[in-house]
Amino acid sequence: MPKASSFSRFTRGIRHTIRAFASTKHPVLVHIVPMRRCNLACAYCNEYDKTSEPVPIAEMLKRIDKLAEFGSSVITISGGEPMMHPEIYEIIARIRYHGMIAGLISNGYYFQTEKIKKLNEVGLDYLQISIDNVNPDEVSKKSLKVLDGKLKNLAEHAKFKVNINSVVGGGVANPDEALVIANRAVELGFSSTVGVIHDDDGLIKGLTEREKEVYKEIKAKGTRSYARWNWFQDNLVDGKEYNWKCRAGARYLYVDEAGIVCWCSQQRGTPGIPLLEYTHEDMRREYITEKWCAPTCTIQCVHQVGHLDAWRDPQISLNDYNKRNGKGLKKETVAQVLSAK
């Protein structure tokens, strides 16, 4: 497997973006979970456990192959902590084998030099690490003090893109620490983004006035990248709803450790269909139907995918979809309603 390079990532990214605008019939971004277990226990997180086993590698490869059959563009591996999976490098290599862009979301604890070099060899394209505070506390151990050595390793050895994400509103005592983290990311040559904390449904929680100020300051520091297509958060931070078309279940898929397709990490169990049984018809249904949680959703990756189709194909309610689909409409009418242009 050839190593990823900045030029090859750029050209592949352009190619996948053009394809995403040209056709709505494939997933643009998939988050897949090979490992729900995590070495940490951050107080605000609902995406980990302490006991589950890694998904067997044969099953993971079947899921990746299925996503390739769908024509998926970007596969991001998340968790739990995916670097705890014993075959993480084989998983990444399989994604790259199919020509898909390979990403990884990690807590940052496992980036010793030799592991970074292995990630280079299998062709990882990008990595995101969320850092919550400067010093570890009862809320989070994802701290700059603990992780700075790993960040230096990445700055020196990583051939893949690294983004450091700060989150405001997660219960950290001093929100200004997010600014320290963002400044350190820029100093090391990484991109920097900022997110806002959500509840267990992925919906906005209230922010303090200082947290709102910190959010805006960090956002102003960021460099240009697709990861910064996050203007929807401006409305949410100010306590307003955001009107958009969520294409989760179609253009964005979340595949949990059981292999179940979900709208996102916070709406696990819906639509609740095994990936290996998922069909293009399922994707067309999810593409055209509204999501109840959309107006106050903070899940940044789902919003970013939604931007691609914001200008086309209005959505209908699931009830209307079921009525149309179940009352004997002419097949050509149903096809017109569901077609992805």
Residue 328 has a pLDDT of: 39
Determine how many CB atoms are found less than 10 A away from the CB of residue 138. Answer: 9
Domain ranges of the chain: 6-307
DSSP conformation class of 260: E
Question: Residue 94 in contact with residue 68, Cβ under 8 Å?
Answer: no
| Tokens of residue 125, six digits | 């394209």
Residue that has been written with the tokens 């292999």 in this structure: 259
Q: Chain-wide mean pLDDT for the chain?
A: 86
> In terms of pLDDT, which residue wins out, 239 or 311?
311
Count helices and strands in the chain by DSSP H and E runs = 12, 9
Longest C-alpha distance within the chain, in Å?
Answer: 63
Residue 240 has a pLDDT of: 73
Residue 120 has a pLDDT of: 97
Rg (CA), the chain: 20
Question: On the CB side of 2, how many CA atoms lie within 13 Å of its CA?
Answer: 8
Q: Which whole number is the average pLDDT over 48-72?
A: 97
Measured in degrees and rounded to the nearest 5, phi and psi for residue 214 equal -65, -45
Taking 70 as the threshold, does the pLDDT of residue 140 lie above it?
A: yes
Residue 129 has a pLDDT of: 96
For 6-307, CATH gives 3.20.20.70
| Tokens of residue 272, six digits | 């609740």
Determine how many CB atoms are found less than 10 A away from the CB of residue 137. Answer: 15
Residue 210 has a pLDDT of: 76
Residue 233 has a pLDDT of: 63
Nearest to 91 by CA among 135, 115, 55, 142: 55
Question: Residue 149 in contact with residue 113, Cβ under 8 Å?
Answer: no
Residue 111 has a pLDDT of: 98
| Tokens of residue 121, six digits | 């060899």
Spatial distance between the Cα atoms of 22 and 314, rounded to a whole number of angstroms: 17
Q: Which whole number is the average pLDDT over 253-257?
A: 98
Nearest to 158 by CA among 194, 196, 128: 128
> In terms of pLDDT, which residue wins out, 200 or 335?
200
Residue 65: partners with Cβ closer than 8 Å, 6 or more residues away: 94, 98
pTM, two decimals, is 0.86
Spatial distance between the Cα atoms of 33 and 8, rounded to a whole number of angstroms: 26
β-partners of residue 203 are: 297
